[in-house]
């Protein structure tokens, strides 16, 4: 185990920034003072007192908007000299269609993965990335996503153990921990005067070779163990996992129960966008003149066009069905495919929901056997 003195943090970040983009949680300078992940610059202090950034760090690996393919059409025999057409007569150029018939086309995939270091994310965020990994790197024999994986492989994850969990934290109910190591390359645990640092992967080992680290003393190791134990106890038990998947399946048709839970939902997408695990995306084309790109953007299951079919039919037309899909995906569909849960218990969906829909309540209600008659908790 290593130790990083508090006053060595800036020099470590500076050193890392020589070879990679370094991303840290930082407080915005404006009045709102929102804490979010952003690129480190000399002098910017990581904000580690605030437990959770507004959004998770997933956008640095699974970008909200990614142009992954470009294309360019050229006309056969085109010289690149634009025709001098008369302008301002939009009604009269209907017959342009035939001219475009025989074009040539150049298509290029774009995979961008500059090296980066994510410092200061919490174990729940790191664990969220592991769940997304399953989906994007072909767990169970599915497909491999080159854009995501390239960025994932180029990223080093330095997590900082939580100091003071919130009441909305429930990582321990999902098998995680405020000092969890899933998906983490090196774990920093705050102790007196700095952090103890455990390298957990090859990338982590590489990191701790830096001269900023010294070997941890026995007392520091003990202190770290104590910190971990203490914070673990501060996370409330939100629900038991046993039977949740089966009960969600059994309660799928309990429309009354789902309606009741969803009644105050306004059907926006905040919960999915702040979630470190949600990964659904949309693909759209954008073309200007003869060139364009194919873009992948975050999507969410509350978006009406997520499932809307061309015929006008929408398999999930109602708010209730969209709502039900989100929780069923996390605790039933995903587990069935990937043998783990699509939730790491950060609680962001609860605290950022404009009407405070509580995931824990939904799981408690619909993840338990429902009494047909009353449906109410005793």
Q: Of all helices (H) and strands (E), which one includes residue 109?
A: strand 103-109
Q: Minimal distance in Å, beta carbon 1 to another protein?
A: 28
Of 306-335, binders to another protein (CB under 8 A) are 306-311, 313-316, 319, 321, 325, 328-329, 332-334
> Given the structure tokens 């086309």, which residue do they identify?
105
The number of residues that bind another protein (CB under 8 A) is: 126
Tokens of 339: 């043998």
Q: Which residues pair with 155 in a beta bridge?
A: 116
Nearest CB to another protein, comparing residues 144 and 226: 144
Q: Binder to another protein among 201, 303, 340, 368 (CB under 8 A)?
A: 303
Q: Binder to another protein among 241, 361, 368, 370 (CB under 8 A)?
A: 361
> Given the structure tokens 């009354």, which residue do they identify?
256
Q: Which residues pair with 70 in a beta bridge?
A: 108, 293
Q: Minimal distance in Å, beta carbon 155 to another protein?
A: 14
Let me know: does 162 contact 125? Beta carbons within 8 Å.
Answer: no
As a whole number of angstroms, the distance between CA 97 and CA 79 comes to 19
Of 254-293, binders to another protein (CB under 8 A) are 259-260, 263-264, 266-270, 272-274, 279-290, 292
Nearest CB to another protein, comparing residues 9 and 301: 301
Q: Radius of gyration (Cα) for the chain, nearest Å? A: 25
- Binding to another protein by residue 131, rule CB under 8 A? no
Q: Which residue in 41, 109, 125, 81 sits closest to 343, CA to CA?
A: 125
Nearest CB to another protein, comparing residues 98 and 211: 98
Nearest CB to another protein, comparing residues 69 and 208: 69
- Binding to another protein by residue 39, rule CB under 8 A? no
Q: Minimal distance in Å, beta carbon 217 to another protein?
A: 28
Question: 3-state class of 327 per DSSP?
Answer: helix
As a whole number of angstroms, the distance between CA 50 and CA 32 comes to 14
Q: Binder to another protein among 18, 79, 211, 305 (CB under 8 A)?
A: 305
- Binding to another protein by residue 51, rule CB under 8 A? yes
Nearest CB to another protein, comparing residues 92 and 242: 92
Q: What is the DSSP string of 146-164?
A: HHHHHHHHTEEEEEE--SS
Q: Minimal distance in Å, beta carbon 325 to another protein?
A: 8
Nearest CB to another protein, comparing residues 19 and 50: 50
Of 132-171, binders to another protein (CB under 8 A) are 133-147, 149-150, 153, 164, 166-168
Nearest CB to another protein, comparing residues 32 and 202: 32
Of 171-210, binders to another protein (CB under 8 A) are none
Q: Minimal distance in Å, beta carbon 104 to another protein?
A: 8
How many Å separate Cα 327 from the centre of its chain? Answer: 16
Of 54-113, binders to another protein (CB under 8 A) are 54-55, 64-65, 68-69, 71, 73, 82-85, 87-88, 90-91, 93-94, 96-105, 107, 109, 111
Let me know: does 30 contact 230? Beta carbons within 8 Å.
Answer: no
Let me know: does 273 contact 300? Beta carbons within 8 Å.
Answer: yes
How many Å separate Cα 103 from the centre of its chain? Answer: 40
| Cα dihedral value 224, 229, 233, 234, nearest 10 | 0
Q: Which residue in 92, 227, 208 sits closest to 163, CA to CA?
A: 227
Nearest CB to another protein, comparing residues 3 and 279: 279
The DSSP symbol for 303 reads S
Burial of 36 (0-12, 13-18, 19+ CB in 10 A): middle
Nearest CB to another protein, comparing residues 211 and 305: 305
């Amino acid at each position: 185990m290593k130790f990083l003195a508090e006053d060595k943090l800036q020099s470590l970040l500076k050193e890392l920034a020589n070879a990679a983009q370094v991303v840290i949680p930082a407080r915005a300078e404006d009045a709102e003072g929102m804490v979010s992940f952003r690129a480190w610059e000399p002098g910017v202090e990581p904000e580690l007192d605030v437990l959770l950034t507004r959004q998770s760090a997933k956008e640095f690996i699974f970008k909200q908007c990614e142009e992954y393919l470009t294309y360019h059409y050229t006309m056969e025999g085109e010289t690149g000299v634009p025709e001098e057409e008369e302008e301002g007569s939009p009604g009269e150029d209907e017959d342009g269609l035939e001219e475009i018939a025989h074009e040539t086309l150049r298509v290029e995939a774009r995979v961008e993965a500059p090296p980066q270091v994510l410092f200061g994310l919490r174990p729940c965020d790191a664990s969220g990335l592991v769940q997304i990994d399953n989906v994007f790197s072909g767990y169970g024999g599915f497909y491999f996503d080159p854009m995501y994986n390239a960025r994932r492989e180029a990223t080093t994850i330095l997590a900082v153990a939580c100091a003071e969990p919130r009441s909305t934290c429930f990582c321990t109910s999902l098998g995680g921990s405020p000092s969890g190591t899933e998906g983490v390359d090196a774990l920093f645990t705050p102790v007196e005067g700095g952090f103890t640092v455990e390298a957990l992967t090859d990338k982590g080992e590489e990191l701790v070779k830096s001269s900023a680290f010294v070997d941890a003393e026995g007392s520091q190791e003990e202190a770290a163990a104590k910190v971990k134990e203490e914070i673990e106890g501060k996370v409330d038990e939100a629900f038991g996992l046993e039977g949740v998947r089966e009960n969600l399946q059994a309660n799928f048709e309990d429309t009354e129960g789902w309606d009741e839970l969803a009644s105050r939902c306004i059907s926006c997408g905040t919960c999915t966008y702040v979630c470190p695990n949600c990964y659904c995306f949309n693909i759209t084309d954008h073309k200007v003149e003869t060139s364009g790109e194919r873009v992948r953007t975050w999507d969410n299951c509350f978006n009406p066009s997520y499932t809307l079919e061309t015929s006008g039919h929408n398999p999930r037309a109602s708010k209730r069905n969209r709502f039900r899909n989100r929780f069923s995906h996390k605790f039933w569909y995903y587990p069935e495919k990937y043998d783990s849960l699509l939730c790491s218990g950060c609680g962001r969906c609860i605290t950022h929901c404009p009407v405070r829909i509580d995931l824990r309540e939904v799981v408690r209600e619909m993840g338990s056997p429902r009494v047909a008659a009353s449906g109410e908790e005793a």
